[in-house]
Structure 1
Amino acid sequence: MELFFKYLQYEKRFSPHTITSYQTDLHQFQEYLQEVYQLEDLKVADHAIIRSWVVTLVQKELDSRTIHRKIASLRSYYRFLVQRGLLETNPTLRIKAPKLAKKLPAFIPEDAFTQLLDQSEFTTDFKGQRERLILELLYGTGMRLAELTTLQLEDINLAASTLKVLGKGNKERILPLNASLINALSHYLQLRSATFPNNNSSFLFVTDKEAPLYPKYVYRVVKKYISTVSTANKNSPHVLRHSFATHLLNRGADLGAIKDLLGHASLAATQVYTHNSIEKLKAIFEKAHPKA
């Protein structure tokens, strides 16, 4: 299993977050094998055993997307074993995943985020301005959580009004910065230098103990502030990414440009945001069509 994780890291170049998900899924299946079938080796599990595990996941009422991901993790692992000659056939080929419920990306209204920044009382110290910058960067660039926490000081180019992010598959992309973000970044960098004059960390975001920022901290910050302006159940950093894309599309941005800004590999992944704009399309239709 450790060889598989190294394969994901060095050959497939998956992000640390994705590899952690694979590790969680495979270890959970391993625990199931040990508890129910008294088996230690995943290589001896057949499709019937794997199907029984999927059934238990459904009975636990796990989200269908979570179950899909866990099945995908097993498929990748057993495919790896077959490719390495450690297994003759892939037992997951006969496994059918439950149907996915089609969910539109959650986002917050444009005026709600403006209200959040204008009315929230961010403290003027390093911590308060760090929290504000986290929100502004996630919404202002549409970057992923992992891209935010791995940002380096050298990735910021205030003179060119751009920043460089390292996305999935170690793919780099350049993102533009608006005037508000440039001001927020400049102020944060000054506070960072004043607060930690001897800090040698290359990371843009650091904790109060001068260590690189961790994902759970970002989750807490986003949930803390979004909950003040939105009643939606989802208050994760990804909601700000969805909001970024939806608001751009609502204001007439080209879908291909949004795809490049988000770092999507294909346009199909970006097209889901067109559904969020149906109300705007209806309004345009009613206003412009002779028969509307």
Structure 2
Amino acid sequence: MTCEQLLTFNELLEHYFFNHAVRNDTEWSYRKVVRTFLRFTAKMPNEIDNKLVLEWRRYVLKEQQLQATTWNNKVTHMRALFNFGMKSGLLQHQDNPFNKAVVRAGRKKKKILTEGQTSAVYRLMAQYEEREQLQGGSLAVNWRVHACKPAWFWLTVLDTLSYTAIRQNQLRHIRICDVNLEERWLDLIIAGAKNHRELRLPIISELYPRLEKLVSRSLEVGAEPEEQLFNVNRFDVGRRAKQQGEVADMGIYPIRAFFRRLSRECRFVVSPHRFRHTVATNMMKSPDRNIQAVKRLLGHSSLRSTLEYIDEDVESLRDILEQEFKR
């Protein structure tokens, strides 16, 4: 066998990352897709052909019963990896085995939170906050024991998602210095942006109190302006990290654990992206609706992307039908 035939997927990934300046989250997503492929086959990159790719597609869609969009995302990553390998001479393929492997994804109804669901989420979290206050109002708890605690912290997360429509990755990348409480705006930096664009958003009056509280409490426990704002680890008595030096940044796991627990207790799915869809949909229901304002809030570069976020307003449709059939 030649050296190229012995090339492993890990080696191909390392070559790809060395030649592309990708973000940590992007690197993680590539590694995740490759791991799932290696669970299906033990073959080397140069041994992959289109027939094997189609067999993997059948396995993912039929046996694992994953969505078409999930499969297409895997194809996008693997196709880019193989295109690089072929162009750089690391792979011997004449044609990319992942070409023409995508499937048509149906357009699903957008997943939003109804007014009743949003109220239920806030009622539940208000109960947790009230219990914390009755217990002495301690700022710190062990979030590993209960993913919804400290409630005041997670209520700030919910308010930020509800009043800014930002993505969870943007939330994680907000630094304390990105929040201007005096002029009431916050900056979303390139590191957390999907489209590599900075964005400045207003802090409205409903969001200000909790955001101001989080900034103050973070500074009180020794956080520096350049550090991550939304970091539950600062208030985690289980680790006591703040007493031993630098506090580790909050990763994606605490956010996932929180929304998983919230969904279980509310008995319906709650996720950061559903808040994003909900804000866009509700803004377009307003009599003063302005799709350009929605586009700017969501940070999109095209109206087409914005329209994908907006759910059909069934109430408006009902009113139109009522008027039509009354005639």
Using structure 1 for the length normalisation, give the TM-score: 0.84
Which residue, 163, 173, 179 being the options, matches 2:199?
173
Give the C-alpha shift of residue 287 in structure 1.
7.2
Report the equivalent of 1:103: 108
Structural mapping, 1:185-200, within 5 Å: 185-194=211-220, 196-197=221-222
Distance 1:94-1:188 versus aligned 2 partners, 3 A rule: closer
Is it true that 1:236 corresponds to 2:244 in the alignment? no
Give distance in 2, aligned partners of 1:164 and 1:94: 39
Which residue, 124, 131, 152 being the options, matches 2:154?
131
What SS does structure 1 have at the residue aligned with 2:187? strand
Give the C-alpha shift of residue 184 in structure 1.
0.8
For 2:308, the aligned partner's letter is V
For 1:46, the aligned partner's letter is D
Q: Is the 8 A contact 2:78 2:98 kept in 1?
A: no
Which residue, 221, 230, 246 being the options, matches 1:205?
230
Report the equivalent of 1:246: 281
Which residue, 128, 135, 145 being the options, matches 2:168?
145
Q: CA RMSD in A?
A: 2.6
Structural mapping, 1:32-43, within 5 Å: 32-34=40-42, 39=43, 41-43=44-46
What SS does structure 2 have at the residue aligned with 1:163? strand
Q: Is the 8 A contact 2:165 2:280 kept in 1?
A: yes
Give distance in 2, aligned partners of 1:257 and 1:199: 33
What SS does structure 2 have at the residue aligned with 1:174? strand
Q: Is the 8 A contact 1:250 1:277 kept in 2?
A: no
Structural mapping, 1:278-289, within 5 Å: 278-286=313-321
For 1:50, the aligned partner's letter is V
Report the equivalent of 1:30: 38
What SS does structure 2 have at the residue aligned with 1:170? coil
Offset from partner CA, 1:76-103 (integer Å, 9 cap, x none): 1112123324345332354332331321
Report the equivalent of 1:264: 300
Using structure 2 for the length normalisation, give the TM-score: 0.75
Q: Is the 8 A contact 1:75 1:90 kept in 2?
A: no
What SS does structure 2 have at the residue aligned with 1:256? helix
Give distance in 2, aligned partners of 1:28 and 1:270: 31
For 1:89, the aligned partner's letter is Q
Give the C-alpha shift of residue 30 in structure 1.
3.3
Distance 1:113-1:278 versus aligned 2 partners, 3 A rule: closer
What SS does structure 2 have at the residue aligned with 1:164? strand
Is it true that 1:3 corresponds to 2:15 in the alignment? yes
Give the C-alpha shift of residue 222 in structure 1.
3.0
Give distance in 1, aligned partners of 2:321 and 2:283: 21
Aligned residues: 279
Q: Is the 8 A contact 1:74 1:92 kept in 2?
A: no
Report the equivalent of 2:57: 54
Tell me, which stretches of 5 or more residues in structure 1 are unaligned?
none
Offset from partner CA, 1:266-287 (integer Å, 9 cap, x none): 221221244x233133245357
Give distance in 2, aligned partners of 1:273 and 1:280: 18
Larger Rg over CA atoms: 2
Q: Is the 8 A contact 2:176 2:224 kept in 1?
A: no
Q: Higher relative CO (CA 8 A, sep ≥ 6), structure 1 or 2?
A: 1
Distance 1:142-1:16 versus aligned 2 partners, 3 A rule: farther
Give the C-alpha shift of residue 116 in structure 1.
3.5
What SS does structure 2 have at the residue aligned with 1:212? coil
Give distance in 2, aligned partners of 1:137 and 1:250: 21
For 1:260, the aligned partner's letter is R
Report the equivalent of 1:161: 184
Is it true that 1:18 corresponds to 2:26 in the alignment? yes
Give distance in 1, aligned partners of 2:161 and 2:294: 15
Tell me, which stretches of 5 or more residues in structure 2 are unaligned?
1-12, 140-149, 242-246
Distance 1:17-1:184 versus aligned 2 partners, 3 A rule: same
What SS does structure 2 have at the residue aligned with 1:217? helix
- Between 1:248-257 and 1:151-160, the stretch displaced more is 248-257
Give distance in 1, aligned partners of 2:223 and 2:276: 33
- Between 1:259-268 and 1:198-207, the stretch displaced more is 198-207
For 1:171, the aligned partner's letter is R
